[in-house]
Structures are given as C-alpha cells and as structure tokens.
Amino acid sequence: MKIGIIGIGLIGGSMSKDLKKILPDAEIFGFDHNPEHLKTALELNLIDHVGDDSMIEEADIIFLAIPVDAAVNALPDLLGKVKDDGLIIDAGSTKSLICSSVSGHAKRRNFLACHPIAGTEFSGPTAAIDGLYDGKTNIICEVEKTAFKLQEKALDLFAKMGMRIRYMNPEAHDKHIAYVSHLSHISSFMLGKTVIEKEKNERDIFDMAGSGFESTVRLAKSSPDMWTPIFEQNKLNVIETLEEYIQNLQAFKDKLLNNDMEGIYQEMEDTNKIKEILKGIPLNKI
C-alpha cells in the first residue's frame, strides 16, 4: 500500500507513526511546504520518501494534515489527481468550507471529511506522538458522499488506531467545535496577552505562575499559522461563542462590583457541574 502524508507536523507525523505500526509493509511518502520538516521527518523515520506528483497519482490513501485555508485550496486539485480507488482523508478543524469546496467535484466519492480531535500545543515533525489517536474521537462529516468501499477502508484504519467515530453534518460540527475548542484557544491566547501586557517584568510571571495559570495558558503556545485560518473559516460561530462568553465575563465583573459574593459562589457552584459532564473524559479528548 502506498500512503501520502501532506503536512508532516504533529497531526500528520503522529498519523504516520500509527500507520507504520498498523501497516508495516506500507510505503509512506511525505509532502510539506517546509523542506526542513521533510528532512526531519526522514531522519525520524516518519516517512520513507519525499513525495512528488507522480506519487499522488499512485497513492492508495492520502492524509491531508495542513492548515484549513491551504486544505481548501489544495483539495480540489488533489482529488483530480488521485486514482479511481484512491482515498483522500483530511484532518481539518473546520468542515463546512472544506466540504463545500469539493461538493460538485467529479471525484467527491474519493474524499472523506474528518476531524480527529487530538493534538497538543506543539507543532512540527518533532511533536509527533505514538498513539496520539488512541481513544480520541474522530468526527466524520458527509460520510454518505464517500464511496462505501473507501469508507470501509478508512474505518478499518481508524478502528485499529483506537479512535471513536462520531458522524455529524459540517454545519453542526463547526458550531459545536467553536464552543469546545475554538473558544478555549481564544481564551488562552487572550489570557496570555493580558498577563504579558500587565507584567512587563517576565521574571514576575514565571516566579508567580502556578499550575492553574500554566494549564489555562497552555493553548496559547499553539501555532498562529494553523489557528488564524480556523478562526477565519469559522468566524460566525466563533463570534457567537465570544459574545456569550463576554456576557458571562461581564456578569461576573458586575457581581464583583456589587459585592455579590453569594451570586459569585452560586455561579461557580453551578459551573462545577461540568465535572460530572467530563467525568472520566481527559481534557485532551475534548
């Protein structure tokens, strides 16, 4: 089997690590806009070869793990090049624009729209992790538009990686993911910005920062190259979540101004219910 990985970073590199275990005889070739990433991926044995256009045409499976704006631009052309029984699987954090970009494509049946909800704040091939996808949820959109035999091939691989499958339409995916992923990244970035601007002496930040601050601001280390296009493509849903979040922040501030400690206590007690909702679910699976 010949497999192409387009984007040899955390997501693509981790996918390659799993595939090498599941399919030890597979030939994996990689593409990346950064030549250093390709060099490192070869050194780390994430890929067997650097890919070229002829390999796209020969590939049985292609995993597209690049920023969502680049995916929208690249996907129609890639679909035009794959063989009749070839499959392209993407891993984008937004789905509506990606799906619509190939909605009328002659080879739409050769594409499976996915979002494996997995990752860390790190990027690049050195961030690749063994077993990153084990136990993680993989959201598949518009599965009915993918050829059945290709669905089976992908689902078999996902099962061997230990992923849980959820089916969702692209619009519902983008709305829900704005709350549980995109908003948390914005909150982390803005918390980091607020602290950096307030604490001009960086030594004070590091001396006083506890585990709470570290865990909350962890996502602020994420790649702007990846997240700016996500916020752009999911702008309307992100704005809606931000408006609700800002209202809650303002309400909390008003309670402080009015010395309403009972109200603040009640807000926190009510929100403690999230412990039950997330019980047994590691935060990195959300």
Q: Distance between CA atoms of 91 and 143, rounded to whole angstroms?
A: 14
pLDDT over 70 at 283, yes or no: no
Lowest-pLDDT range, 84-98, 148-162, 249-263, 265-279? Answer: 265-279
Residue 219, domain CATH: 1.10.3660.10
Quote the percentage of the chain above a pLDDT of 90.
Answer: 79
Give 180's DSSP letter.
I
Domain boundary among 140, 156, 172: 172
pLDDT, one tens digit per residue, over 10-26 is 999 999 999 999 999 99
**Residue of 274, 192, 198, 271 whose CA lies nearest to 227:** 192
Domain boundary among 172, 195, 215: 172
Q: Are residues 190 and 71 in the same domain?
A: no
Q: Are residues 82 and 159 in the same domain?
A: yes
Q: Distance between CA atoms of 12 and 235, rounded to whole angstroms?
A: 25
**Residue 53's pLDDT is what?**
84
Q: Give the count of domains, the chain.
A: 2
Domain of 140? 2-172
pLDDT band at 284 (very low <50, low <70, confident <90, very high): very low
Q: Are residues 165 and 186 in the same domain?
A: no
Q: Are residues 241 and 185 in the same domain?
A: yes
pLDDT over 70 at 178, yes or no: yes
Q: Are residues 111 and 246 in the same domain?
A: no
Q: Are residues 64 and 120 in the same domain?
A: yes
Spatial CB neighbours of 230, under 8 Å, sequence gap ≥ 6: 67, 68, 93, 94, 182
Give 108's DSSP letter.
G
Strand 137-141 to strand 111-116: parallel, antiparallel, or no bridges (unpaired)? antiparallel
Q: Are residues 146 and 221 in the same domain?
A: no
Q: Are residues 42 and 144 in the same domain?
A: yes
pLDDT, one tens digit per residue, over 34-90 is 999 999 999 999 999 999 888 999 999 999 999 999 999 999 999 999 999 999 999
**Residue 286's pLDDT is what?**
38
Q: Are residues 13 and 100 in the same domain?
A: yes
Q: Could you give the C-alpha distances from 284 to 82, 106, 121, 155, 159, in angstroms and in order?
A: 34, 37, 11, 22, 19
**Residue 201's pLDDT is what?**
66
Residue 35, domain CATH: 3.40.50.720
**Residue 233, phi-psi category: left (phi > 0), alpha (psi -120 to 50), beta (remainder):** alpha
Backbone angles phi, psi at 47, to 5 degrees: -130, 160
Q: Are residues 40 and 140 in the same domain?
A: yes
Domain boundary among 114, 144, 172: 172
**Residue 188's pLDDT is what?**
92
pLDDT over 90 at 238, yes or no: yes
Lowest-pLDDT range, 150-159, 162-171, 210-219, 276-285? Answer: 276-285
Q: Return the beta strands (E) in 12-151 as ranges.
A: 27-31, 49-50, 61-64, 87-90, 111-116, 137-141
Q: Return the beta strands (E) in the chain as ranges.
A: 2-6, 27-31, 49-50, 61-64, 87-90, 111-116, 137-141, 164-168
Q: How far is CA 250 from the centre of its chain?
A: 30
pLDDT, one tens digit per residue, over 179-228 is 999 999 999 999 888 888 877 766 666 666 667 777 788 888 888 999 99
Q: Are residues 64 and 159 in the same domain?
A: yes
Q: Are residues 16 and 129 in the same domain?
A: yes
**Residue 149's pLDDT is what?**
97
**Residue 28's pLDDT is what?**
97
What number is the average pLDDT over the span 113-129?
Answer: 91
**Residue 285's pLDDT is what?**
42
**Residue 2's pLDDT is what?**
96
